[in-house]
Chain A
């Protein structure tokens, strides 16, 4: 396979006030890949995603989608360009129904037919959501909410899907389900950047991985190699 980079993050720096949160993070994601970004709490994983989505400004460096720089592009326009983030903690529109949530996800689509097609696709992918179509999202179980969060993000037809801690707070059996879903999306050709604390699972389904520590990428390799790496094994997989 000849890798073509779809998303490139080149040496980005992010500051929160005086705090230097990202100190030159670079990563590349090729079309059709799952790339995972693992790291401890506060290492800068979510900040990296937010910088890509334009939710936090970068002071230096560039984010390029298909070679086009995204610096200065407002975050709401980035969705239209093809990068959609599934926020941490799922963040449903809790008082809206499942279907209304999906419809919101298709906000950037201008044709009603596209929205309907997106909803049909989401229901096909998650039959469970179809059963719960008229139910209020806030009353869904954690796993169902994660499905809805992913389904809602897919509505905009993203080229790159940014997943922020999709397994957080879920029962083990649901964690398996969520990772199965990610594999399915991958099989269907979606490019995915996965941020996870559950490094073991993330490295199992990912093609490549990056390890971030205190705002810097300290390691990057094929996921299979990272699984065998001593430092990773000690620090993130809990194997001595």
Chain B
């Protein structure tokens, strides 16, 4: 309650500041109020669409704070932070402004609680339930209506105070909170394998079945801030870079070996669900690396990429299935090369008619191609061959093993998908540095000039489509084996969009970018299946935020990074150069 009143003097302080500098404070005040109102809308939205109540089921720190509460706290804190950002003001004023903005957002929530106590609005806002009010008031009921208001003011004020802290302190705090959040989210994932190791007791101490324990939270905070401090003061990365290569290798090799062993034993430790998630990520990495050739290197936007995935999957299905539509009952390994080749043929088939189409038109044309394949796969026309909506079932697993083997079920697909992705990454990396890779980049940068320097546009473009298709076809082949069946409904425009998005989020033309993009856009949503209703909401938020904050992608390629680094160049243009001297 005290802090709400701390908000009051600020409103009183406004007129006096008004006297000192006439026009400015008004706009400050307006900005604070505007941000506060915007924060209120966001906070209400979080509650109304059910994010707060549903996420509340998942603790971040056991018994202390849930994910739903964290979402609200984050929104209130962010409101205060945005309201006071980039404002040079006295310390008291900053805190007050933050408190007002945060408080305003809180008032909206308090109003919701009060409204809910008088009228039952659940008829049209099903999430405005007593459960939600309980979360907002710490189960005090209507008497606790002031809690959101007060919390908003406190959090907003804190956010304002952050602006006073030195950048170093702010950064440390930021790192600590991010680590807390990340480890809280993934506590279950880390705990499960630890329980099977000698460190089981430690795991129980730090992690609950979901979320951190209180002790764990403190340990994570202290450790992350401490590590951050060490890194900043000692610059371990620079020290490492300064080491002679032989010593560097002595550190690198064991680390790489450790990572390799961890990757190998991962399904044993985390169970087959997690292995399946990684296998799906690896599938998207394969497709992403494929599209990375067509789009990332050659600059040919292809929104029908799922077609090649479908061709690969159906080819494996037809050749290996032991059920109705299987035609050969080949082993998986014999079918895979055929699937890749058939996908390449389709790539050339797509490429030929659209050779001279550029830019936006290309996106539409390729999308049409993807839709044609999707509709054909489910059509009555091809039903006698592909099974229509019933699809092709009984696609055997690549390696026949007894059910208790470590290669049983999704685990073997995990390994196959990882090997496939690694193989494709290697091929993609080699292609990138090749003459063909340079020709692709030239076409992407300027098609006309590429032709003028002697690049065969037709051949180069067709090869881009074919190799992109080959990678996607391999992805589809592994997918068919993973699921054990292939249906027309698996081929969706959304797959194409996902693949294009993960390339853009990861960083156009960058191989590590594709991997990171797939982990973020495909892996994370798979891990948070319980919140799948909100998948596209967060997907959209993530895409917009990325384009705003980091348009070059998470791990951009060299060329793209240069473009976004304004003016580019490893060295700044010399100022001595007068324009007349060229």
**Which A residues form the contact surface with B (CB < 8 A)?**
53, 55, 74-80, 84-85, 87, 91, 93-97, 103-105, 107-108, 128, 131-132, 134-136, 138-139, 141, 143-144, 147, 152-153, 155-156, 171, 173-174, 177
CB-CB under 8 A from B456, the residues of chain A are: 74, 76-77
Cβ-based interface call for B107 (8 A): no
* Most chain B beta-carbon neighbours within 10 Å: one of A55, A94, A107, A171: A107
**Is chain B's interface secondary structure helix, strand, loop, or mixed overall?**
helix
B455 contacts A136, CB within 8 Å? no
B563 contacts A53, CB within 8 Å? no
Of A107, A136, A155, which is within 8 A of B569 by CB?
A136
Cβ-based interface call for B530 (8 A): no
By Cβ-Cβ distance, the 3 closest A-B pairs, closest first, are A79-B454, A136-B568, A135-B569
Tell me the nearest residue of chain A to B439, going by C-beta.
Answer: A107
Interface residues of B in 550-578 (CB under 8 A from A): 559-560, 562-563, 567-571, 573-574
Tell me the nearest residue of chain B to A106, going by C-beta.
Answer: B453
B573 contacts A108, CB within 8 Å? no
CB-CB under 8 A from A155, the residues of chain B are: 453
Of A75, A76, A103, A136, which is within 8 A of B438 by CB?
A103
B455 contacts A139, CB within 8 Å? no
A171 contacts B579, CB within 8 Å? yes
Q: Please, how many angstroms separate the alpha-carbon atoms of A55 and B454 in the complex?
A: 11
A173 contacts B571, CB within 8 Å? no
Q: Please, how many angstroms separate the alpha-carbon atoms of A122 and B455 in the complex?
A: 21
Of B439, B445, B448, B452, which is within 8 A of A94 by CB?
B445
Of B438, B569, B574, which is within 8 A of A134 by CB?
B569
Cβ-based interface call for B23 (8 A): no
Tell me the nearest residue of chain A to B566, going by C-beta.
Answer: A139
Tell me the nearest residue of chain A to B580, going by C-beta.
Answer: A173
Sample of 20 further A-B pairs with CB below 8 A, known A84-B453, A97-B569, A107-B454 = A53-B452, A74-B456, A77-B456, A80-B454, A91-B448, A93-B442, A93-B449, A95-B559, A96-B441, A104-B438, A104-B441, A104-B453, A107-B435, A107-B442, A134-B570, A135-B571, A138-B568, A143-B582, A144-B582, A147-B582
A91 contacts B568, CB within 8 Å? no
A76 contacts B448, CB within 8 Å? no
Cβ-based interface call for B201 (8 A): no
Cβ-based interface call for B451 (8 A): yes
Cβ-based interface call for B360 (8 A): no
Minimum Cβ distance to chain A for residue B259 (Å): 33
14 cross-chain CB contacts under 8 A: A53-B452, A55-B451, A55-B452, A76-B456, A79-B453, A87-B452, A104-B442, A107-B442, A107-B453, A135-B568, A135-B569, A141-B579, A173-B580, A177-B582
B453 contacts A108, CB within 8 Å? yes
CB-CB under 8 A from A139, the residues of chain B are: 567-569, 573
Tell me the nearest residue of chain B to A170, going by C-beta.
Answer: B582
CB-CB under 8 A from B445, the residues of chain A are: 93-96
Of B438, B446, B452, B571, which is within 8 A of A79 by CB?
B452
Of A87, A91, A108, A147, which is within 8 A of B454 by CB?
A108
Minimum Cβ distance to chain A for residue B457 (Å): 7
B562 contacts A136, CB within 8 Å? yes
* Most chain A beta-carbon neighbours within 10 Å: one of B439, B449, B560: B449
Q: Please, how many angstroms separate the alpha-carbon atoms of A107 and B435 in the complex?
A: 8
Of A91, A95, A136, A173, which is within 8 A of B449 by CB?
A91
Minimum Cβ distance to chain A for residue B450 (Å): 8
Contacts A93-B445, A171-B579, A173-B580 hold; do A152 and B568 have CB atoms under 8 A apart? no
Minimum Cβ distance to chain A for residue B497 (Å): 26
Q: Please, how many angstroms separate the alpha-carbon atoms of A29 and B534 in the complex?
A: 70
CB-CB under 8 A from B580, the residues of chain A are: 171, 173
* Most chain B beta-carbon neighbours within 10 Å: one of A77, A79, A80: A79
Minimum Cβ distance to chain A for residue B510 (Å): 14
Of B448, B562, B568, which is within 8 A of A87 by CB?
B448
Q: Please, how many angstroms separate the alpha-carbon atoms of A132 and B577 in the complex?
A: 12
Q: Please, how many angstroms separate the alpha-carbon atoms of A13 and B455 in the complex?
A: 25
A93 contacts B446, CB within 8 Å? yes
CB-CB under 8 A from B563, the residues of chain A are: 95, 136
Q: Please, how many angstroms separate the alpha-carbon atoms of A172 and B574 in the complex?
A: 22
Q: Please, how many angstroms separate the alpha-carbon atoms of A85 and B450 in the complex?
A: 11
CB-CB under 8 A from A85, the residues of chain B are: 452
Minimum Cβ distance to chain B for residue A144 (Å): 6
B582 contacts A95, CB within 8 Å? no
Minimum Cβ distance to chain B for residue A13 (Å): 22
